[in-house]
Amino acid sequence: MPFRRLGPSGLRVPVFSLGGWLTLGGSVRGDPVREIIKTAFENGINMFDTAEGYAAGRSEEEMGRVIKELGLRRTDLIISTKLFWGPHEPQNGMGLSRKHIIEGTKESLQRLGLDYVDIIFAHRPDNTVPIEETVRAFNFVINQGWTFYWGTSEWSALEIEEAHHVADELGLVGPIAEQCEHHMLHRDRPECEYAPMYSKYGMSTTVFSALAGGLLTGKYNNGIPPDSRLAVQKEQWLQDRAKSLGEPEGQAMLAKIKALADVAESDLGCKVSHLALAWIARNPNTSTVILGASKPEQIVDNLKALEVIPKLTPAIVEKVEGILNNKPAPPSTWGRPPLDPFGRSSL
């Protein structure tokens, strides 16, 4: 398993990690959770991502229990959790106030059965709390030894910039990574909006939904299978997504995915899911791609993407870009002539 630095930090994370969203503690409980985590660990995945809001805390509980049962050494693991959607009363029991960040961290650690995690992400921005309070609170948590780093999740570039502004002024630690949605069909934010965050602060991403919620496995190419998540689960956003597949935009998207599948098979000898995972993993700003799994086999299969990464030559990349046709445009220079691309053109 290759390792990469997480943002500007010295922490090394595996290119593929395992996340608990929707599955661990949610649709998967008990022994199967242990089998999934065990398989991941044996295949080189030593980073596990969860959140206080996943399955109302049960994701953290299951993960913590399994880590203990498997007897994994704490120093061999990288554990990330996320704070925002707390399980208690809604006025002060959620969000990014000092009160919830501190109280929420204590409760997360208790559920995980750990003294500390490696990184805590702010699961969403909270525009009802001054950013200074949030930055100070995460630094308090770091200074207590309850986490080593903190990051953001689905914040805008402006919100991240505001956090670094405050952190710089107060001599505090800013966010080192963004946990964001990034896949072949969702590129503007991670590839364009965040560009200054990568170059100015050395931040990187921990990516979720690299397979676009399963779309990029190709399993919806011929309709929604009756046992798939889109057929089974009832959340509104899943229902909406299912419906959208029947509409013209959804159909165009499925056509792209079929074309990608052809490239994967003919040019790379792999599944479209491997191409999709490798595509995100090869992005220099990706530190880790968080895999979701409801069965151990999925992990083993997904990791085949590791072999695809070096096969993504300029020619293949151009072919894929031609199919996707969604490469974010560079920002306008308002008429200033472009800089010589062979020189130090970038800021």
**Residues labelled catalytic:** 54
Asked if residue 282 binds a second copy (CB under 8 A), the reply is: yes
Q: Return the range that interacts with a second copy (CB under 8 A); candidates 70-78, 227-235, 266-274, 316-324.
A: 70-78
Asked if residue 153 binds a second copy (CB under 8 A), the reply is: no
Asked if residue 73 binds a second copy (CB under 8 A), the reply is: yes
- Cα angle 137, 77, 134; round to 5: 10
Residues 76 to 115 in contact with a second copy, rule: CB under 8 A:
76, 78, 84-86, 88-99, 102-103, 107
Q: Return the range that interacts with a second copy (CB under 8 A); candidates 3-11, 208-216, 223-231, 292-300.
A: 3-11
Asked if residue 309 binds a second copy (CB under 8 A), the reply is: yes
Asked if residue 326 binds a second copy (CB under 8 A), the reply is: no
Q: Which residues contact 314 (CB under 8 A, 6 or more apart)?
A: none
DSSP 258-314: HHHHHHIIIIISS-HHHHHHHHHHTSTTEEEEEE--SSHHHHHHHTTHHHHGGG--H
The SS3 call for residue 1 is: coil
Asked if residue 196 binds a second copy (CB under 8 A), the reply is: yes
The SS3 call for residue 197 is: helix
- In the block, tokens 């090869």 appear at 282
C-beta closer to a second copy: residue 4 or 258 = 4
Q: Return the range that interacts with a second copy (CB under 8 A); candidates 31-39, 141-149, 254-262, 269-277.
A: 141-149
Exactly one of 4, 29, 65, 319 binds a second copy (CB under 8 A); that residue is 4
User: How many whole angstroms separate alpha carbon 128 and alpha carbon 156?
Assistant: 15
By CB under 8 A, the count of residues binding a second copy is 88
Asked if residue 65 binds a second copy (CB under 8 A), the reply is: no
C-beta closer to a second copy: residue 72 or 185 = 72
Asked if residue 71 binds a second copy (CB under 8 A), the reply is: no
Asked if residue 334 binds a second copy (CB under 8 A), the reply is: yes
Residue type, 261: A
C-beta closer to a second copy: residue 234 or 336 = 336
| Token pair listed for 5 | 């630095």
Asked if residue 286 binds a second copy (CB under 8 A), the reply is: yes
Residue type, 95: G
Residues facing residue 204 across a β-bridge: 177
C-beta closer to a second copy: residue 187 or 282 = 282
Asked if residue 62 binds a second copy (CB under 8 A), the reply is: no
- CB of 228: closest distance to a second copy in angstroms? 26
Asked if residue 138 binds a second copy (CB under 8 A), the reply is: no
- 80 neighbors 121 (Cβ within 8 angstroms): yes
Asked if residue 343 binds a second copy (CB under 8 A), the reply is: yes
Asked if residue 315 binds a second copy (CB under 8 A), the reply is: no
- CB of 309: closest distance to a second copy in angstroms? 6
- The dihedral built from the CA positions of residue 85, 88, 94 and 98, taken in this order, carries a sign that is negative
**Torsion-angle region of 339 (φ positive above 0: left; ψ -120 to 50: alpha; else: beta):** beta
Exactly one of 31, 69, 168, 307 binds a second copy (CB under 8 A); that residue is 168
> Phi/psi of residue 232, each to 5°?
-90, -45
| Token pair listed for 160 | 């991240």
In the 3-class helix/strand/coil scheme, how is 180-239 assigned residue by residue? EECECCECHHHHHHCHHHHHHHCCEEEEECCCHHHHHHCCCCCCCCCCCHHHHCCCHHHH
C-beta closer to a second copy: residue 164 or 183 = 164
> Phi/psi of residue 169, each to 5°?
-65, -35
